[in-house]
Structure formats: structure tokens, C-alpha cells
Structure 1
């Protein structure tokens, strides 16, 4: 049965109820409707929204209210009887009777205080959602809060206060809650203070990178005034405690894959070495990765491009699954500073960060979660980033035309131009690294300064085996290889023309799903510069659809075509979620074959990004399977976290 909220008449279905509202109460499409089903009492601003809601109810027992009456402190039968006795033609009498029969509905001041607090929390959650929205800057978020506050507390609150009687009724309490719902959120500083007081927002701390003097001109005078170059660091300890005390986050961050293939950092030799001597069975050790990159916060194409460039330091957790680790919500900001401050050296920039990282490693954090209290130590697993960013932060040569630009080995650039396999005798190690630091000659060693992160006991730069597939492969090797391949097929043996390729590319059916990385046309100048106008994701797509575009025009035994197939096999292996040892050996052979064919077929020297590929199997081997006693202890500890 469906019940009218005005006169409590029961109808057989919701259509009859709507007809009753129209004929008996003269309610229209824009009238206010209230739901009287199952103690719902929700209000709707239009018939359309009310109709959509009412069909979800299926009330067959009118005594459902009687069952709830004891907990609601009012007599349902008396209320319905009062409603039945109303004179619906007299609006004044109707209002009086409604207020009279609702007099027993008045909750206690304690319940209203709790509801007011719920309104307050909902308002704060609304403000928090705006400030955490990556598509809104703080100015826009504050503007929305101001506008909504004016609408709710100003317009709606005023209207309700005028309609409410003067005595202390539930309506007065509702008006009070609405009118003060945005108190304390009037300005941005109040919003930040509100969340800071509740440990929802952790404010960054400013630190000084360098002190210098600047020239200040004004009033026809020239003055020198001191100026400080500063950065901002987010307190990692406070943030990590909040993150890992979230439900199931600790469990997800300490789960170790039980597979016989390489799929996670915790399966590697690097992590095994970092845990040597750390055998406290009552503690957990969690690795994290640091990542560095620059971004332009203003117009990157304007005349002042780069002036306001910001260098950011992020951290993430490799023990999370690949699907979760790649989400922006699981990549956290550790520090920000102006890119121009890099000229003052890494020691002054990262001093505060390194101090906090050492504290996290030595002192750890006590986490209080539903499963108990855990002592967790955070260990720097790797420092990752693009090639230039890593070489800059880790203290290696910043130019890739220098004699020794590789951060993994000490091969000379003349050797690297033709090197197809890794030379284990030229690998960097702690002994030759210390010798090179003492020499202090970047031309002879490739080291510009000692790595400041070596101050962290579990980290050394020569053990930081990190490669960047996006820049090395999809923004590097693929461009070099495919420009040679397309020139060969379109100009050397002319199996098809560039126009044929572009026509097939434009007409290619990508499928019915949404795809934003559709490949653009290829111009002749792209081939001459060995650089396509494609992003990394577009290049990854183009490499995989290239056989579908022109494969029918090329003989299978063509040696350049076989070279492309080798490249495609390498890419498919590198994109695997896990790799076993036999596949690693095959990958090493494929890379060697690829490099030899590149030099032989195109009479070209290998580029720096080609050279980094020869280290890929070695880098992956550092993530080989470990059978460490400490790892077993962690697995046993996690049994009761489940």
C-alpha cells in the first residue's frame, strides 16, 4: 500500500497515489512531495523525482509504522486519526493539525545535536571533496563553497526561518542547523584550519635552500635586500600514519606474491640485501620508491616558459598491485621546490627530506589498526625517474653526449655506440664508485658529485637499478627503429608509399571501445628527424597495429621486417606483469640480436636509449625470487592480519 503524507489515505499503487495528490491536494509537477513509506519522510522538489523514488517502495503492511512507533516516541494510530479528521479545504486548520499531531515527534536536544553534527560533517565532506578534486584549483573550490553557502544558509535558511513558528519546534532546530552549516568555512584559511585541527589535512613545512641578495629598484633608488630560496616538504611521518591506518591498506602493502616468476620488487635481490641484519620478528618493513619530475605551472609555451617550473618529489609503494600502484590517489607528494634551485646542489635541496627518510628507517611508525598495533619501518627501495632526472638527482653526468653517461656501467660512449651485450666487467660498484668520487672529474668518470642519498644506510646509488621503459622504448628506441623501417619500405624498396600508410592509418578500425590514443598521420619530416609526433601511449599502440596496417604488403622473410618482429617481441616481454628466468635469457638474446641488426641494416650507431636496453635483463634479475627467512616471517605475521 502507498500512503499519502498529507491525509494518510492508502492507495493500491503509486499511480493512484500520484492521482490522489493531483485531484485531492492540487499538487503539481513542481510541488514539494514527501514520502510516507516505511518511515522514509524524504522530501522531493518535483513530481518527477518523487515518482522515481516512490516506485522503489513496496509497502503492503500499514502497521509497519506501528512496529516502529515505540522507538519513535509517538502513537501512529492517533496521528493517522488526526490526519483523517483534517479539513483539507482549510489550509490554516490543516497546518495547525499537522503541527499538533507532530508535537510528539520532537526529538531530544541530544538527538538534534547529533544531527547538527552530521550536517556539519556533511558540509565539511563537501568542502573536502572540492579541495581534493584534481581538476579544481583552490580558488575555484573556495568560490563554489561561497556560492553554495550563500544559497543554503542565506536563501534557503532565511526562507525556512520565515516559515517556522517562534516557539521551539523541530523546524527551528532544522533552520538553526542549516543556517550554521558553513560556519568556520568562510575563508580558505578557515577551511585549512578546520581540516588541520581534525588531522585530515597535513600542512607542508617550508625550508630554506639558499640565502642570497637581490637587487630591488624603486623610487629612483637601487637597493640590495636579502632573499631566501625555499622549498616545501610534506611531513611524511604524519601522512604515512594516516595512510596505513586506513582499512586494509597495511594488508595490501605487505602482501607478497607467491609465484615462481618475477612480478614484484619484494622478490628481488635488491630487497633481500636491504633486509640483511633487520630480523626483528615483531616489526614489518615496507619498501617505497622515490620519484622526481618537473612540471610547469604556468604557460609552458610562453615567453617566460621555465621561469615558474616546479620540481616535485613523489613516493609510492611497489608492494601494491599494479592496478592500485598506478592510481594517482596512491602516489603521494613528498616535496616541492623551484627547478632553478637545482643549481645550489642536491645536498641543500634534499637535506630535510633525507633526514626524515632516515628517521622512518631507524625509528619507524606505530600503527594502530583494527587487527592490533604494528611497528612498521619504511625503507627506501629505489629512486626512479626518467634518465635526465635520475642522473641529476643521483649525481651523474647530465649530458648524454658525455664520455660516461650511463649510471649503471662505466662503458665509454664510443663502446656504447656498438655495444650489444652488457659487459659485466664494466659495471659500477661501490669500490670503483668511491674511487671515481675522489677523482672528482665528470669527464673521466661520469660522476659529477657524490650521491646525497647514500647517507641512508640501506641505499647506495650503484645498487639503484632503475630503467624507464616509457622514455627508453616508446619515446626513444621505437622512434629510431620505425623511422628507419618506414624509410626502408617506402623509399629503399618501395613496397608502399607514405600516403598508403597514412590512408590505412586513418581508416584503421580501432574497435567499438573508447580510445583516446589514436595515432596521427606521419609526415616526411618526422622520418628525417627520427621523431614521430606521438606520445608514449600512442607509440605503444602504433607499434602493435603496424603489422595490421602493412603486413600484407611485406614478404615474411624480409630482414628488416624480421628486425621489426624482434622489436615487437622485446616490447611484449617488457610489458608482461611477471617474467620467469627462461624468458629473461630469451630477452637478453633478443636485445643483442636487435642491436646487431640495427647497426648492420641501417649503418647507424646505437643511441643512449639503445644502450640502456642492454641492462634491462640485469635490472630485472635484481628483482629475482628470494627465499629469505625474514620474508617468511612477514608472511607468517600477515596470517592474522587477514
Structure 2
């Protein structure tokens, strides 16, 4: 994936002025690219030029930044925190399928309606999680309600994966081994040369949080090796079979090819995470979500060399 820096701004400026004035120069340039294009010479005939038109089709980033850019609530414990639907926080614990008759998906019309409601009522902080309009919606071919670049790094590797692993480890501590032995097994396991830099650090099982305190690559390493580390302690027909299914689904999330995912999921349709089925098959027409993984962006040399600065 090629990463080209087009804009920088300080976080303090964002807090003071908001996204609109900061991104306005970029939006203006993108509008020119959408309507006029640029002159690009052919490599074999340098004197010949054609006009190429460009636009934005999807925006990727970490969840907090995307919520801020799109004008939605930046608290993931808010009543309406889902970027894809209007399901409230309580109902999220019971709605697991987009075919649910009570589910209302986000659309351009609903987004505009919520933005207008906030604009007309100054006392209203947000309407169904929408606080303001997104500056990128001024573009001809982009609207934030059609953005389905889900974030594997934060949603899975730093989210659901660690939550599920923590439940598994808590079960092992209650049923089979003590916490010290569990930690020793994870630390002493021979992960191999290719995983020597990815081995998990000390995990946090009894701290009352939903994660293990690992970064994304450590979480990915631990998920794949958990059956080898603890396989002798658990009935493979029960708990580890469930873990294997979860691991397989995560493995298929990072496939670079749609067809391989589809061939697998035709046999496991009920195991897909909420919203992700339509993200893959009915909406995300721009390739597998592996290609919009934010770890490459966050780990780039430019991003690492800048502090208190946002890159676009």
C-alpha cells in the first residue's frame, strides 16, 4: 500500500477551529480533481497528455479519528455509537443480524436529517449520535454514510480478539491452572524466529478491563498460538473448538481475496460479526478490508516522527 502525505495539522488547531477550516484547502483541491482533473503525459509519448479525473471513495483511520471527522459522537459508550446503524447501546447486546426488523441502517437522508436537527436546536448536543456534518460530504462522489472501511486493527486485534482471549484465560484460571502458570506458559512458549518480535508481553487477566493490555500484533500472535500453548489443558471438542472457529473467522478477515472468504463463509454464515457480512458482500466494493488496515498508516516513518500532529 502506498502512503502519500497530503496534509498536516496540530491537534490544538483541531480543538480550536474544528475540521472544516483545516480540511477546506484539501477539499477544494479534491473538487478540482473531480471536475477538471490533471494533465498526465504517457510514459512512451511524453508530449501527449490526457485528463484524468480523481475522487475520494473511502476514508480509513482509527475509530476515534473517523468518528471525529464524520461528525459523530467520539465516545464508544454513548447511546448511539455505531457508525452503521441507529441501534442504541442497550439493544446492541441483543441485535446480532442486519436482517433484524428493528434495525435501522444509516443513510444519507437520515444523516442529513440528524445534522439539520442539531443545527436547528443549539441545545441539542447530537441527534442519534450525529453532531455535525462531515466536510468531505461536499465532494461529488463521497458521503460518510457510505464509508465502510472497517478497522481490523482496532475492532478485532485490539478489541474483540483480546476480549475473547480474556474470557478463555479466565475460564482456564477458574478450571485448570493458576494465573502464574498461565502467564509462564505464554512467556516461555517458543513462538519461533518469525514471531520473536511479536511475542506477547505480560497479560492482564484480572484487572477488570475488557482487553489484555497487548498491542495489535501481539494479540494476533497470541490468538494463533493459544491452541498450542493450552491445548493439553482443555477438551478440544468444547472450548478449543470454539476458539478455533473464532480464530478461523479472524484469519479470513485478513484474506486479500474476496472469493476465499466467500467460499468459507457460505458454510459458516451465522459466525460473522454484526455488520461485517454486508460490509464484505453488499457494500464494500473496493476490495477486502485488509487493504485499508490502519497499522501501516500508524507505523509509517512520517507518523512516528510527529508528535501532537495529525496526518492526512
TM normalised by structure 2 equals 0.80
3-state SS in 1 of match to 2:91? helix
Which of these residues, 160, 168, 179, is aligned with residue 498 of structure 1? Answer: 179
Asked if structure 2 preserves the Cα contact closer than 8 Å seen for 1:403 and 1:443, the reply is no
Task: Confirm whether residue 422 of structure 1 aligns to residue 98 of structure 2.
Answer: yes
Asked if structure 2 preserves the Cα contact closer than 8 Å seen for 1:342 and 1:349, the reply is yes
Q: Which has the higher strand share?
A: 1
Asked if structure 2 preserves the Cα contact closer than 8 Å seen for 1:363 and 1:377, the reply is yes
Which residue of 1 is the match for residue 226 of structure 2? 546
Asked if structure 1 preserves the Cα contact closer than 8 Å seen for 2:203 and 2:214, the reply is no
Which residue of 2 is the match for residue 345 of structure 1? 18
Cα drift, residue 443 of structure 1: 4.3
Cα drift, residue 504 of structure 1: 2.4
Which of these residues, 559, 566, 576, is aligned with residue 255 of structure 2? Answer: 576
Task: Confirm whether residue 623 of structure 1 aligns to residue 284 of structure 2.
Answer: yes
Cα gap change, 1:460/1:523 in structure 2, threshold over 3 Å: closer, same or farther? closer
- C-alpha distance in 2 between matches for 1:562 and 1:514: 24
Q: Max radius of gyration: which structure? A: 1
Task: Confirm whether residue 436 of structure 1 aligns to residue 114 of structure 2.
Answer: yes
Matches within 5 A, 1:413-562: 413-423=89-99, 425-440=103-118, 441-491=124-174, 494-513=175-194, 515-526=196-207, 528-558=208-238, 560-562=239-241
Extract unaligned runs of 5+ from structure 2: 119-123, 288-312
Which residue of 1 is the match for residue 121 of structure 2? none
Which of these residues, 348, 357, 364, is aligned with residue 37 of structure 2? Answer: 364
Cα drift, residue 471 of structure 1: 0.4
- C-alpha distance in 1 between matches for 2:248 and 2:39: 46
Cα gap change, 1:556/1:445 in structure 2, threshold over 3 Å: closer, same or farther? same
Cα gap change, 1:407/1:512 in structure 2, threshold over 3 Å: closer, same or farther? closer
- C-alpha distance in 2 between matches for 1:360 and 1:587: 43
- Aligned pairs, number: 273
Asked if structure 1 preserves the Cα contact closer than 8 Å seen for 2:169 and 2:205, the reply is no
Asked if structure 2 preserves the Cα contact closer than 8 Å seen for 1:584 and 1:617, the reply is no
TM normalised by structure 1 equals 0.40
Cα drift, residue 557 of structure 1: 2.7
- C-alpha distance in 2 between matches for 1:456 and 1:506: 50
Matches within 5 A, 1:148-227: none
Cα drift, residue 562 of structure 1: 3.5
- Greater relative contact order (Cα < 8 A, sep 6+): 2
Extract unaligned runs of 5+ from structure 1: 1-324, 592-612, 627-642
Asked if structure 2 preserves the Cα contact closer than 8 Å seen for 1:405 and 1:413, the reply is yes
Asked if structure 1 preserves the Cα contact closer than 8 Å seen for 2:163 and 2:212, the reply is no
Cα gap change, 1:335/1:565 in structure 2, threshold over 3 Å: closer, same or farther? same
Asked if structure 1 preserves the Cα contact closer than 8 Å seen for 2:78 and 2:89, the reply is yes
